[in-house]
């Protein structure tokens, strides 16, 4: 399990906030985060609240302790590293009961100060960049926030695409049953500007699918997925776009069976892969490609 209860000596009569800061030497932001997430407990394993007084000579903290399942970093540099993330692997645990996430591998290989600089969806495979120290994490995260990078994806899409496509539909939250679903806007006054370039690579006539390169020039939620669906080329295996609300809800609630998922979406995963990343770091230009060939294998099979 990634969260381990660790016991620490405590001074009775102090507030839990002061104890964490003074006695244990935790940073203010981290201690507040641990308290707000109910990960600090008394001797009876009842979670402390921010202003509670410590009433035992010890406390427990549920700390994340990474473990490995054999996934190794793709590349490691002095201040950052990259993983080639497989599909169906979330980056962070979404509860104390999450048995495994990419954060396990990050902390196992690089320690507690390492963290990811950006996010990709659990079902999206491919390149994920992380900083190995706090300064590097912040610098790389700022780089992504400021769009100071180039990134491209590979995707398997339904139907044949013969020529390059420029998709510049503005995007907004759909605001209906599926809370994470995005929608294109009907006029230029709504939503956020979004731009994606699609370049066809090869068409599989037997499967009626096209392998494409998708280059997002903005970074909106589900941008590539909703843009491709909007022009009639839904990504194979997409469990949110191009299917009915009931199936999408079952997928999000994790009650959709593997058989129903395959029948509804055409695949057991979303065939979207973060394939290329280009960026400057400390005046050095890095151009990095994924080594994961699963999308090519699926296209050819």
pLDDT band at 94 (very low <50, low <70, confident <90, very high): confident
* pLDDT mean across residues, the chain: 93
- Region 221-246: mean pLDDT is 96
- CA separation, residue 225 to residues 178, 184, 287 (Å): 15, 11, 24
Query: Per residue in 168-184, pLDDT tens?
Result: 999 999 877 788 899 99
Residue 2, pLDDT above cutoff 70: no
- Region 91-112: mean pLDDT is 87
Would you say 8 and 34 are in contact if contact means Cβ atoms under 8 Å apart?
no
Query: Per residue in 38-92, pLDDT tens?
Result: 989 999 989 999 889 999 999 999 887 788 999 999 999 999 999 999 999 999 8
Would you say 209 and 238 are in contact if contact means Cβ atoms under 8 Å apart?
no
271-300 burial, b if ≥16 CB within 10 A, otherwise e?
Answer: bbbbbbbebebeeeeeebebebeebeebbe
Helix (H, G, I), strand (E, B) or coil at 43: coil
Q: Which residues are annotated as catalytic?
A: 121
Residue 1, pLDDT above cutoff 60: no
**Burial (Cβ within 10 Å: 0-12, 13-18, ≥19) of residue 139:** middle
Residue 3, pLDDT above cutoff 80: no
The pLDDT of residue 99 is 84
- CA separation, residue 63 to residues 35, 68, 215, 219, 278 (Å): 12, 16, 38, 32, 34
* C-alpha R_g of the chain: 22
d(Cα 248, Cα 280) in Å, to the nearest integer?
39
Tokens representing 163 are: 């020529």
Domains belonging to the chain, first-starting first, are: 3-64 (3.10.290.10), 75-146 (3.30.70.580), 153-274 (3.30.2350.10)
Going by C-alpha positions, the residue among 140, 90, 98 that lies closest to residue 115 is: 140
Tokens representing 178 are: 């599926």
The pLDDT of residue 188 is 74
Query: What residues does 150 pair with on adjacent strands?
Result: 278
Sheet holding 3-9, edge to edge: 3-9, 58-64, 40-41
Going by C-alpha positions, the residue among 246, 245, 247, 240 that lies closest to residue 263 is: 247
Tokens representing 196 are: 């994606």
d(Cα 39, Cα 64) in Å, to the nearest integer?
10
């Amino acid at each position: 399990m990634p969260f381990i209860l660790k016991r620490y000596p405590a001074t009775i009569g102090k507030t839990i906030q002061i104890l964490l800061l003074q006695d244990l030497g935790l940073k203010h932001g981290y201690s507040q985060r641990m308290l707000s997430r109910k990960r600090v407990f008394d001797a009876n394993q009842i979670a402390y609240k921010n202003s509670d007084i410590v009433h035992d000579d010890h406390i427990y903290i549920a700390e994340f302790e990474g473990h490995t399942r054999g996934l190794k970093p793709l590349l490691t540099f002095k201040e950052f590293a990259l993983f080639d993330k497989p599909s169906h692997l979330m980056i962070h645990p979404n509860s104390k009961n999450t048995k495994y996430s990419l954060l396990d591998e990050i902390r196992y290989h690089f320690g507690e100060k390492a963290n990811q600089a950006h996010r990709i969806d659990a079902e999206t495979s491919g390149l994920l960049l992380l900083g190995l120290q706090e300064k590097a994490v912040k610098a790389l995260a700022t780089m992504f926030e400021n769009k100071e990078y180039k990134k491209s994806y590979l995707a398997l899409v339904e139907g044949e695409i013969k020529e390059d496509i420029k998709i510049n539909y503005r995007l907004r939250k759909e605001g209906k049953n599926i809370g994470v679903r995005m929608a294109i806007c009907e006029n230029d006054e709504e939503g956020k500007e979004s731009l994606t370039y699609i370049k066809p690579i090869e068409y599989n006539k037997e499967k009626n699918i096209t392998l494409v390169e998708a280059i997002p020039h903005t970074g909106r939620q589900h941008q590539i997925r909703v843009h491709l669906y909007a022009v009639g080329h839904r990504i194979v295996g997409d469990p949110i776009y191009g299917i009915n609300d009931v199936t999408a809800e079952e997928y999000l609630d994790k009650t959709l069976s593997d058989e129903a998922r395959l029948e509804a979406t055409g695949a057991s995963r979303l065939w979207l892969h973060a394939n290329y990343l280009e960026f400057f770091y400390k005046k050095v230009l890095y151009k990095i490609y994924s080594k994961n060939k699963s999308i090519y294998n699926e296209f050819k099979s």
